[in-house]
Amino acid sequence: MKFFPTLILSLIFSLTAWASQPSIYGKNGVVVAHDLEACQAGIEILKNGGNAVDAAVAVSYALTVTHPQAGNLGGGGFMLIHLADGQKVAIDYREMAPGEAHRDMFLDDSGRVVDQLSVRGGLAVGVPGTVAGMQLALDKYGSMSRKKVMKPAIKLARQGFQISYDLAYSFGWLNKAAEGFNETRRVFCRNGEIYMPGETFKQPDLAKTLKLIQKKGNAGFYEGAVATALVKSSSSYGGMITLADLQNYKPQIRKPVTGNYRGFEVSSMPPPSSGGITLISMLNMLEPMVFDSVGWHSAQHIQILAEVEKRAYADRSVWLGDPDYFSVPQEKLLSKEYARLRMTDYDSLSVTPSDSIYPLNDRDLAGIHLNGHESEETTHFSVIDQWGNAVSVTTTLNWSFGSYVTVEGFGFLLNNEMDDFSAKPGEPNSFGLIGNEANAIEPNKRMLSSMTPTIVSRDGKVVLVLGAPGGSTIITTVLQVINNMIDFGMPVHDAVNVPRFHHQWQPDVIYYGPGAISPDTAVLLKSMGYELTPRYGYGEVNAISRDKIFGGWIGAPDLKTASHGAAY
């Protein structure tokens, strides 16, 4: 096993090919997230005696202020918790379909999917879960009051923060894209007077909303003035969310899915996330492979991972959905025996065409060629505290700025998560992913997700906390970071920041980021029968790893996207 010995050598002697020293070290606690302000909000809570769950709630609310593209009150997500005593918990605060939603709501009279209907405007909005999810996490596993953990976010909204170049650029883009969404342009674009980098962005409407939640909890969001305005704003753009939908929303505590990879326990999110099962399925397929003589990102390495990824994504397309509505064959998909059978047709010298790979080996469920938009606008953050409690959180509005609908007078955007359902079983969604009956639209159902908050442990102790945004690339991104560390001995900072690639079964293409595949490797892969397509954007991995030299923790933000970390 290479993980810890190689990590120690690489840090002390800089002997690995990727050698670089970790940029963030904390003896007591670490937070890694998209924005520095959000990291500082979490560290403030940790320094004041809060645990990792308290800090995670603080970070989540802070991202609502500083990262409106994905941080949210009007969306949802998943929280994975590994407590120091070994207890593991998954909190599902994924959005739900409104009570009036129906299977064919995005189809025209001819049964064809209506373009953009599931991604823009009120009909795209699922019932938000973030506020209820944060409250559940705090009530069950936190140690601080809601008043304390929300204080940093309220301060950020009231006093403002300095707008980064990337956020200013996003606001400028939104000003053009959100034509017709007047409240969104008023709040985030000053009605066309674009914010410049370095300006202070204050959000008094959002501060008012956060203050109501701080005072009243769920009742400050799912009832009263905020709820009424949410329903009105959504319905004015064609939405169907009702006050009853908001009042009936409940987050769920679920059992994480777990697997074992080369002696490490991998815990991740269960359905309605597809992430955990798909990740562990891929690791099970990889485990018999020997990487000692395989070069990192050589043709052999890329071929192995691509073949594993396409098989797991084929299963994902049919067999994963909301477990409260669909019987997911979880035990089979997580079994090592099934993984072994899945790879019996693997040929190390050539490609296995995707059209010969069937979900759960069922020929009647052969895939459909598809293509679609890939979005990076989800956000992930990781937290560890002085006691060894770890939290991994992925949260989203789906597309950047969600549905473009801002709740009038309250300063927050609504999601467009209804696009993550199968608008028409067998048809791709905007991420190019196939969905079938398991993910068909039904009232009050949770839509399938690729979000994959993950925690790796050994002998009951956390060694790695990670996750990523990135649509359909999330799961393969998390897989490759784990593969980089365990099989190639990379320190966490390098495992996060080296280039990545992706295969999702359909279309039958290996997508690769800048520097991920060398020209000579590309020639070899093409000779084996692979189609290669360059693409930019492979998520934003925000990870934390146990430091085996000095004790404490190493934070690894994804520098490709200017992510941040803080520690103490």
User: Of the residues 278, 378, 396, 452, which is catalytic?
Assistant: 378
Beta bridge partners, 80, equal: 90, 392
For 37, half-sphere exposure in the C-beta direction (CA atoms, 13 angstrom radius) is 22
The two three-digit tokens of residue 154, written as one number: 């309220």
Write the Ramachandran bin of 228: left for phi over 0, alpha for psi from -120 to 50, otherwise beta. alpha
Q: Count CB-CB contacts under 10 A for residue 186.
A: 15
E strands, 134-187, in order: 161-162
Active site residue 378: yes
Q: Which of 396, 391, 392 is nearest to 379 (CA)?
A: 396
For 48, half-sphere exposure in the C-beta direction (CA atoms, 13 angstrom radius) is 16
Q: N- to C-terminal Cα distance for the chain?
A: 31
Contact 65, 400 (CB under 8 A): no
For tokens 């085996």, name the residue. Answer: 548
The two three-digit tokens of residue 254, written as one number: 């679920």
For tokens 């955990």, name the residue. Answer: 276
Contact 508, 310 (CB under 8 A): yes
Q: Which of 275, 311, 314, 263 is nearest to 457 (CA)?
A: 263
**What single DSSP character describes residue 254?**
E
Q: How far apart are CA 341 and CA 361, in angstroms?
A: 10
Q: Which of 33, 393, 545, 462 is nearest to 42 (CA)?
A: 33
The two three-digit tokens of residue 196, written as one number: 């410049």
Q: Which of 476, 461, 489 is nearest to 387 (CA)?
A: 461
Q: How far apart are CA 340 and CA 336, in angstroms?
A: 6
Q: Which of 72, 541, 71, 97 is nearest to 321 (CA)?
A: 97
Q: Which of 471, 490, 360 is nearest to 480 (CA)?
A: 490
Q: How far apart are CA 79 and CA 72, in angstroms?
A: 14
Q: Is 307 helix (H, G, I), strand (E, B) or coil?
A: helix
Contact 403, 462 (CB under 8 A): no
Which residues make Cβ contacts (< 8 Å) with residue 177, sequence separation at least 6?
Answer: 401, 404
Q: Which of 6, 413, 450 is nearest to 171 (CA)?
A: 413
Catalytic residues: 378
